Amino acid sequence: MREYRFQATNDTMEALRTLRGAWRGLSVAEHDVTIILQSGAAVRVSVDTADVEGLFDAYRLSAEVASSPGVYGVPAEDFISGNNDIVLFTGVTWSEAPGAARAEGMSEQATMHFSGHPGQLSETAEVVCITTDAFVVASTVGRGLLIRTGLRPGSLEVERDQDKVRAFLVERGYDQ
């Protein structure tokens, strides 16, 4: 198996650490999320793409601190007191050798690509790219916000429903 890494950079991790502070609001778009802090700073989260051996694209989360856009978006009541906790999650994207994974209508020489979490990685994977594909912010009042790479290339998904955030945490093996 050939393995690559396309994980969060130190700059992204530093930007995400600022989310521990008190929030004012957040603005969600298909390709980015901006979290506005009480301090006036904003953290913009987006997706970076890497071409892995010309076989598939791998996606990781990227974040940067910027000045506030002046628009506060949706209020973030659950996160206004600060002292939030941030947990980053590892994902994997992989390719199976031609013929290793079969689906109806596929030729024997077709290559299949998959994405998931490390526990889903196939033993027959030929090329693997380890990514940072999600993070959860947990507030002091027990609420969580999940931001992860979306199904559409380059998109983000934001989940505020606590049952869905909890299900994600359980799927990823994170016991609170």
Q: Name residue 48's beta-bridge partners.
A: 60
Task: With cut-offs at 50, 70 and 90, classify the pLDDT of residue 176.
Answer: low
- HSE at residue 168, side-chain half, CA atoms within 13 A, is 25
Domain enclosing residue 45, as ranges: 2-171
Task: Assign 15 to helix, strand or coil.
Answer: helix
Neighbours of 58 (CB within 10 A): 27
Span 24-71, pLDDT tens digits: 999 998 899 999 999 989 999 999 999 999 989 999 999 999 887 777
pLDDT at 88 over 90: yes
Q: Would you list the DSSP string of 77-115?
A: GGGTT---EEEEEEEEEEEEPTTTS--TT--TT---EEE
Which residues pair with residue 33 across a beta bridge?
28, 45
First to last CA, the chain: 33
Domain count, the chain: 1
Distance CA 16, CA 134 (A): 12
- Domain-located, residue 176: no
Give, for 163, the enclosing helix (H) or strand (E). helix 162-171
| Within a domain: 90 | yes
pLDDT tens, 153-172?
A: 889 999 999 999 999 999 99
119 within a domain of the structure (yes/no): yes
Residue 139, pLDDT above cutoff 70: yes
The count of C-alpha atoms lying within 13 angstroms of the C-alpha of 82, restricted to the half-sphere facing its C-beta, is 7
pLDDT digits (tens, 9 = 90+) for 90-111: 999 999 876 655 555 555 656 6
Q: Are 50 and 58 in contact (CB under 8 A)?
A: yes
